[in-house]
Amino acid sequence: MKISVVIPTYNRPALLLEAVKSVVAQTHLNWEVVIVDDGSNPAIPIDQLKSLLGDNAILLRHDKSCGVACAKNAGIKAATGEIISLLDDDDLLGQSALERIDAAFTGHPELDCLFLGVEPFGPYATNPAESRKIAIDKIIQRACPKESNGLYLFDDNLFLELLYSVPIDFQRPAARRGAWNIVGGFDERGLFSESSWAIKASTMCKIALTKEPITFWRIHGNNFGWPSALDHDQAVLRQIDNDLESAHGLVKHFHRKQVDMINHVKHLETRLAESCFNKAYFLQDKNKLLGLKALFRSIMLSPQAKHFKLLFRYLMPGSNRKS
């Protein structure tokens, strides 16, 4: 199957080139790369990228930076593959990553979203690697996923675990096009949009995680998530404030879903009441007992004047010639 790799980028042409080369080197050959230049200055070197990617490239550019979440959403919208994956411009794919993704979705037709195992690398990788392993081990222990063909297959337990901690592996999704449509894109207002997306996906999708790392997360001086000018207390407070904003956004999202679901149930009950009434109307001179049962159920679901008119006809002596 065709796999789209969306790469948002901003002012890192040398690292972007490494990321693109890691896609070109894949053992799985049916792929495309969607590069979204989010207002780089100067613009990324298109000719060099085209010479590497050939016809397997979609190149987009924003004149002004709109943020990584916005760039990812634009890339997802432009992608044409059956599976859409994401790759940061400073990260790399393992050589067999796309082959593993293809095998996971082919071998598990029920799978909606595959999160990709991550291995940190670079001069600052030691502590993130240890933290990542602890976080993943904790989720595996508590969520108790099934294991199959190098995958962890999760059920509803994953939601409760991600609610309190979203390890880096669960911020690296490859999902069917239908899953992106159902879950929606990334929140362009929040700092932790990848974490929020994973939490939402865990309530709507069949989720798996690769047991082994198939992507490489570069840890370097400017991707720790806060400006270097902040002192420790400022950085911690910024982290807390962004966590609060993310949680607030999730509450609003699930509240909207709840309201939508209540409205859907109301419409379904109205439809069911109409079907019960139709049955009662049809049975009024054929089977009084079954007709009354259907009529009373219709009244309980959605009482209307017509119900009581029909009930009067049922109760009138001699109104039913057959029973």
Per-residue confidence band for 109, with pLDDT thresholds at 50, 70 and 90: very high
Q: Which tens digit of pLDDT belongs to each residue from 254-288?
A: 777 788 788 888 888 999 999 999 999 999 989 99
Arithmetic mean of pLDDT, 109-125: 95
Q: Which of 208, 225, 242 is at the close of a domain?
A: 225
262 and 214 in a common domain? no
Q: Which tens digit of pLDDT belongs to each residue from 118-170?
A: 999 998 899 999 999 999 999 999 999 999 999 999 998 898 899 888 999 99
The verdict on whether omega for the bond into residue 42 sits within 30 degrees of 0, i.e. cis, is: yes
Alpha carbon distances (Å) from 163 to 11, 247, 254 = 33, 9, 13
The pLDDT, as a whole number, for residue 220 is 83
Predicted TM-score (pTM) above 0.85: no
Total domain count, the chain = 2
Q: Which tens digit of pLDDT belongs to each residue from 302-320?
A: 999 999 999 999 988 765 5
Q: Can you name the residues that pair with 174 across neighbouring β-strands?
A: 85, 114
214 and 245 in a common domain? no
Q: Which of 225, 246, 275 is at the close of a domain?
A: 225
265 and 203 in a common domain? no
Position with higher pLDDT, 24 vs 192: 24
Question: Which residues have C-beta within 8 Å of that of residue 109, sequence separation ≥ 6?
Answer: none
288 and 160 in a common domain? no
Classify residue 18 by burial, with Cβ atoms within 10 Å: 0-12, 13-18, 19+: middle
206 and 101 in a common domain? yes
Arithmetic mean of pLDDT, 235-261: 69
121 and 35 in a common domain? yes
Position with higher pLDDT, 118 vs 242: 118
Q: Which tens digit of pLDDT belongs to each residue from 56-89?
A: 999 999 999 999 999 999 999 999 999 999 999 9
257 and 110 in a common domain? no
Position with higher pLDDT, 322 vs 315: 315
Q: Which of 209, 225, 241 is at the close of a domain?
A: 225
Q: Which tens digit of pLDDT belongs to each residue from 178-190?
A: 999 999 999 887 6
Per-residue confidence band for 225, with pLDDT thresholds at 50, 70 and 90: very low
What domain range includes position 159? 3-225
With beta carbons less than 8 A apart as the criterion, state whether 145 and 152 touch: yes
